[in-house]
Amino acid sequence: MLRLLAIAVTALASFFLAFWAVTWVTGNNDIGAWAALAFGFVGVPILMLKLWPGESPGSKCPGGKGLYPECLFIVKVSDSEVLNQRPDGVVERVAIKDLNEVVVETNTSGPWGADVWWLLSSKIPGNKCAFPGGATGEEGVLKWLQGLPGFDNKAVIEAMGSTSNARFICWRAPV
């Protein structure tokens, strides 16, 4: 925020300085005004944004890159369970032997909110994992999920193209 305020103040000062200098050299207020607009309100902000890059939101993610804040969810799959550590410290687990259903749920909160969620439910009530698309480790979990017999990749593709509130069942445990 401070960076943008500094750029705005510098742009305003540059505008007046350019207006005064060009008007003084040319003797024409119109030329001075156009030059000042181009220099002060276009050129200087662009130059300052290039020379003074802000912190990328993804730099707060593990590994320094990713989709923030979704990357703060950390998901892992092991031989025995799928584990999800939420940003608030809560840990969710679903034992692989108890995995019952894999659903992708979409909502209309994008692009400002997490609009794609993976929901892994267990045969044991209360055991579940819910993590957003863009979570750290999502790619590894997806690769593992795609190895489940009967996993529906078409449902995943359809979900990724959805912009409405919807649920896409990607896999169910055999009965």
- For every residue of 84-109, DSSP letters joined together read EE-TTS-EEEEEGGGEEEEEEEE-S-
In this prediction the pTM is 0.68
State the pLDDT at residue 57.
55
- Domain spans of the chain, in order of start: 2-51, 70-172
Q: Could you tell me which residue, 57 or 28, shows the higher pLDDT?
A: 28
pLDDT digits (tens, 9 = 90+) for 39-97: 888 888 888 888 877 666 557 787 777 888 899 999 999 999 999 999 999 999 999 99
Dihedral pair phi/psi, residue 78, rounded to 5°: -125, -175
State the pLDDT at residue 145.
97
- Residue 5 pLDDT exceeds 90: no
State the pLDDT at residue 48.
83
The answer to whether 111 and 163 are in contact (CB under 8 A) is: no
In angstroms and rounded to an integer, the radius of gyration of the C-alpha atoms of the chain is 26
Query: How far is it, in rounded angstroms, from Cα 144 to Cα 146?
Result: 5
pLDDT above 70 as % of the chain: 96
